[in-house]
Amino acid sequence: MDFPPPMAKPKRRPATTAQGEQHRKKGRSRWPWARIGSSAVAIPLALAIVVLGGWYFTVAFGLIVFLGLEEYLLLVRAKGFTPATKTVTLASEAIVISAAMDPAIADTIVPLAGLSASVMGLFYCGYLPSYWVRLRVGGGLITATSAENLLPFNGYWPTNLALNTWPTALTATLLTFACIWAADIGAYVMGKWLGRTRLSGISPKKTVEGSIFGLSGSVIVAIAGAGYLQWPLWFASGAIFGAMVGIASLLGDLIESLMKRDAGVKDSGRLIPGHGGVLDRTDSYIFTAPLAYYYVTLLLPVFQTMADKI
């Protein structure tokens, strides 16, 4: 007895262009609540650590450096390399701690530990982030000249709510953070809403439109902050500072995306819900730290000199 051939499954009709566009719009309308929730916790925590300063800020950054370096070393191992884990970890932590006491010591650790094959990790995860400690603490943990500066808050605790009376080390750090947040939020939100043109094949989700809005957000926040903090020639100094931070933030994001792509992974880790790993969340901060430090310590005095001559 012959059995009838099995019925072929009907082919699924491809979605029309209108249906595809509807699905894309539906996907764009979904808010990443895990990402938003993580940011709602991380931002107040970051602000508290920045305001506290001193050893609180240094130890917190030491922990971030440790977690970020662990993720970086995993990316290195994914490429088949065997990094000098202990050497790089100890040297990176030594750089962060010495940056709080005497930045000159931190500068000597890099060439001494450069014999390690993992010098890139030392530079990327240790040396560059140490500039945040230099900017906020400024070596003040051993150079304090009064008993007041030897208190747990290291003399950095604000005495009132007027931000323009706070120490420059604190306000410059807060303003840099605010510019990075403005760049990240502007690029992410506007990129999802208006993004059409891919920025780079390194990171397919980044768009030219989002990057422009992110950079603009950083510049606007910097100008507003410079005006409120009474920086010399505040409009020009704020605009240049915001542009530098916005560009460095974007480059840091792209470089971390390049490392992940090279290692064949989507995220550097899974520690932070909605964001991935520590490097995924802090990549925008790595290259901004030295720029912010040298801008405040070298370029702002130049603007002050120019303002005095006008």
- Residues 79 and 276: their CA atoms lie apart, in Å, by 20
**Sequence spans of domains, the chain:** 36-157, 161-310
| DSSP secondary structure of 209-259 | HHHHHHHHHHHHHHHHHHHHTT-TTHHHHHHHHHHHHHHHHHHHHHHHHHH
List CB contacts of 215: < 8 A, sequence separation 6 or more. 183, 186, 243, 246, 247, 250
- Residue 146 phi, psi dihedral angles, 5° rounding: -135, 160
Ranking 36-40, 66-70, 106-110 by mean pLDDT, the lowest is 36-40
* pLDDT score, position 274: 60
Mean per-residue pLDDT, 253-272: 79
Q: Write the pLDDT tens digit of every residue in 25-67.
A: 444 445 577 767 777 888 899 999 998 888 889 999 999 999 9
pTM for this entry: 0.81
- Residue among 214, 222, 122 at smallest CA distance from 178: 222
- Residue among 100, 98, 101 at smallest CA distance from 110: 98
* pLDDT score, position 301: 92
Ranking 106-120, 136-150, 179-193, 277-291 by mean pLDDT, the lowest is 136-150
* pLDDT score, position 116: 55
* pLDDT score, position 240: 97
pLDDT score of 186 more than 70: yes
- Residues 204 and 260: their CA atoms lie apart, in Å, by 13
What distances in angstroms separate CA 238 from CA 18, 184, 211, 229, 300, one per listed residue? 45, 18, 19, 10, 10
